[in-house]
């Protein structure tokens, strides 16, 4: 396949890669669409990588190592592999790829690629953009999971994701040991403060959603213990404790006494995570896992 082309049908992708992404809870066709869109930013209108075309003979072949330049957790290496297959079709060999979710240290090789040198360099930045961003999410999530170890609390992501990349970002959270909150506005009803204001209070809002969608999970945000008690009295079994200090959260846990799951949210930091977890809450949600995470330092070097 020409290194200027990024049009490859899903049927031409390795079956093992499609199966891997499917097993990971991703839609291979959607991932491929994201890859093609990203490559098109570099190769608009079927253009070429002018630098590689000018400096590298068309027949040249090469090998390159993807390596971690810091310690962390890798994710998105399957997506990076899809980038190379999208640029080079079957004329690329990918070996020594670590499973997503693997903890690495600086200098560890996470994947090796071999094929036409022009194509490898054309695909390099897009592959690194995906893998570095997703590994950054996995690494940040793992830091929270490590701090929470030994408590009942689990770290949750949020819907504060990059438009169009939610499935990949939430996948990276899973790679780091976190769990996913809702994926959309329809798979769980989340009554926030504005809903409660519009409905006349947290209880009327909860009851309205429960009446409209009797089989759907419903979570309600509260800002004080009075709201918490009122929701428990009407049977709400998922409650978000918004911007509460640790002593108030501990009291909320005592009042709830197992009748509902409790999620802590609002301006939480890794430094405070253990303290919050030790109040007894079930979940800690962290928007920063996806909306402002630092990329993980990966590099590709020709061997």
Full DSSP string of 124-150: HHHHHHHHHHHHHHHHHHHHHHHHHTT
CATH class of domain segment(s) 146-291: alpha beta
Tokens 């980038």 found at: 83
Name the catalytic one among 103, 112, 125, 182: 125
* Residue of 7, 61, 192, 229 with catalytic role: 192
For the record, the structure tokens of 211 come out as: 């009446």
Percent of the chain whose pLDDT exceeds 90: 94
**Whether the predicted pLDDT of 11 surpasses 90:** no
Q: What is the DSSP-derived secondary structure letter of residue 97?
A: P
Burial of residue 110 (number of CB atoms within 10 Å: 0-12, 13-18, 19+): buried
Residue 203 banded pLDDT, cuts 50, 70, 90: very high
Q: 242, 275, 278, 297: which one is catalytic?
A: 242
Query: Which segments within the chain are labelled E, that is strand?
Result: 61-68, 72-73, 93-95, 103-104, 109-116, 154-156, 189-191, 218-222, 238-242, 261-265, 283-285, 298-302
Tell me if residue 270 falls in helix, strand or coil.
Answer: helix
pLDDT tens per residue, range 20-42? 999 999 999 999 999 999 999 99
Q: For the packed helices 117-148 and 28-42, what is the interaxial angle rounded to 10 degrees?
A: 120
- Residue 170 bears catalytic tag: no
Q: Which of 79, 184, 87, 183 is nearest to 135 (CA)?
A: 79
Among residues 157, 221, 263, 282, the one annotated as catalytic is 221
Contact criterion met (CB below 8 Å) for 134 and 168: yes
Helix (H, G, I), strand (E, B) or coil at 298: strand
Is residue 192 part of the annotated active site? The answer reads: yes
Q: Which of 201, 198, 192, 216 is nearest to 266 (CA)?
A: 192
Instruction: For residue 125, indicate whether it is catalytic.
Output: yes
**One of 63, 69, 112, 160 is an active-site residue; which one?**
160
Burial class of 183 by CB neighbour count within 10 A (0 to 12, 13 to 18, 19+):
middle
Name the band, by pLDDT with cuts 50, 70 and 90, for residue 72.
Answer: very high
Query: How many degrees, rounded to 5, is the angle at CA 58 between CA 52 and CA 59?
Result: 135
pLDDT of residue 279: 98
pLDDT of residue 274 exceeding 70, the answer is yes
- Mean pLDDT score of the chain: 95
pLDDT given at position 12? 74
- Per-residue pLDDT at 1 exceeds 90: no
Residue extent(s) of CATH 3.20.20.70 domains in the chain: 146-291
Three-state DSSP class for residue 261: strand
Instruction: Give residue-wise pLDDT tens across range 141-196.
Output: 999 999 999 999 999 999 999 999 999 999 999 999 999 999 999 999 999 999 99
The hierarchical CATH code for the domain 10-145+294-302 is: 3.90.1170.20
Does the predicted TM-score (pTM) go above 0.85? yes
Q: Buried b / exposed e across 262-296, counting CB within 10 Å, b at 16+?
A: bbbbeebeeeebeebbbbbbbbbbbbbbbeebeeb
What was the pLDDT predicted at 46?
82
- Tell me: pLDDT of 8 over 70: no
Per residue in 210-229, pLDDT (tens digit) is 999 999 999 999 999 999 99
Tell me the residue ranges of DSSP E strands in 17-83: 61-68, 72-73
What's the pLDDT score for residue 83? Answer: 97
* Band of residue 99 on the pLDDT scale cut at 50, 70, 90: very high
Cβ within 8 Å of residue 244, ≥6 positions away: 223, 252, 264, 266
Is 257 tagged catalytic? Answer: no
Q: Where in the chain is the domain with CATH 3.90.1170.20?
A: 10-145+294-302
Mean pLDDT, rounded, for 201-208? 98
| H or E segment and range at residue 263 | strand 261-265
Residue 127 predicted with pLDDT over 50: yes
pLDDT band at 236 (very low <50, low <70, confident <90, very high): very high
Residues 115-125 have pLDDT tens digits of 999 999 999 99
Q: Among 245, 242, 248, 236, which residue's Cα sits nearest to residue 285? A: 242
Contact in structure between 21 and 51 (CB atoms under 8 Å): no
């Amino acid at each position: 396949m020409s290194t200027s082309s990024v049009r490859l049908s899903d049927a031409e992708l390795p079956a093992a890669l499609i199966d891997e992404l499917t097993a990971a809870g991703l839609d291979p066709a959607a991932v491929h669409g994201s890859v093609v869109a990203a490559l098109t930013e570099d190769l608009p209108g079927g253009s070429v990588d002018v630098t590689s075309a000018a400096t590298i003979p068309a027949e040249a072949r090469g090998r390159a190592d993807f390596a971690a330049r810091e310690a962390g957790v890798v994710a998105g290496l399957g997506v990076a592999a899809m980038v190379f297959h999208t640029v080079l079709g079957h004329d690329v060999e990918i070996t020594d790829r670590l499973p997503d979710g693997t903890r690495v240290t600086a200098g560890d090789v996470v994947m090796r690629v071999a094929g036409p040198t022009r194509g490898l360099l054309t695909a390099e930045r897009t592959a690194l953009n995906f893998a570095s961003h997703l590994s950054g999410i996995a690494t940040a999530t793992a830091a929270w999971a490590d701090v929470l170890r030994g408590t009942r609390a689990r770290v949750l992501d949020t819907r504060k994701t990059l438009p169009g990349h939610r499935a990949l970002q939430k996948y990276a959270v899973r790679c780091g040991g976190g769990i996913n909150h809702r994926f959309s506005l329809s798979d769980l009803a989340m009554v926030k403060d504005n809903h409660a204001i519009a409905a006349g209070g947290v209880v009327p809002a909860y009851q309205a959603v429960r009446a409209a969608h009797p089989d759907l999970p419903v979570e309600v945000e509260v800002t004080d213990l009075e709201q918490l008690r009122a929701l428990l009295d009407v049977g709400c079994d998922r409650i978000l404790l918004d911007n509460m200090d640790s002593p108030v959260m501990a009291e909320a846990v005592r009042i709830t006494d197992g009748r509902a799951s409790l999620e802590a949210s609002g301006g939480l930091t890794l430094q405070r995570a253990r303290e919050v977890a030790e109040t007894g809450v079930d979940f800690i949600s962290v928007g920063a896992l996806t909306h402002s995470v630092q990329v993980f330092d990966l590099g590709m070097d020709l061997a």
